[in-house]
Every structure is written in structure tokens, then in C-alpha cells.
Amino acid sequence: MDINQFIEKLEIEFEEVESGSMTPDTVFVEMKEWCSLYALIVMALVSTEFDIDLSGDDLLNISTVSDLFELIQRRKTS
């Protein structure tokens, strides 16, 4: 999965977010729809798609979509 496919998946999970509105540089907490439930949606997607279990701290330490994607790549190979 490349980052664009990952963004597509995020946009599907974030039902309120318009398709095509997110980019690798999107800062999660600056999205107008962002709320704590979106953090759970991200954790669920990453857990079921990549079998990687993020912690709350992991999410606090990243800001953009590409940060998250890179974190996933690092965990996958470690």
C-alpha cells in the first residue's frame, strides 16, 4: 500500500471528510472534522490493516498523514 492508497482508506473511514481533501501533509488535529473519536478510527484502521497497535503516545508524537505512514512503515519492518 502506498501513501495515496492509505489516504483513500483514511478518507473512507472518516465519513465526514470529503474524498480527495486529504494530502500527505494534512495535519490531523488541524482538520476541521478532527475529534478524539477520529483518533480511535485511525488506531482501528492501522490495527486491522497492518496488524500494528499504536498507543495514545504514538498518536501524540505524529502530526501529519505522512508522519503516520512512516511510523507504520518503521513498525512493519522492525
Among 39, 50, 63, 66, binds another protein (CB under 8 A): 39
Nearest residue to 28 (alpha-carbon basis) of 59, 6, 70, 73: 59
Among 23, 25, 44, 61, binds another protein (CB under 8 A): 44
- Residue 41 interacting with another protein (CB under 8 A): yes
- Residue 78 interacting with another protein (CB under 8 A): no
CB of 40 to another protein, least distance (A): 5
Long-range contacts of 2-5 (CB under 8 A, 24+ apart): 3/65, 3/66, 3/69
- Please count the CA atoms within 13 angstroms of the CA of 38 that sit on its side-chain side: 17
Point out which residues bind another protein (CB under 8 A): 15-16, 35-37, 39-41, 43-44, 47-48, 51, 53-56, 59
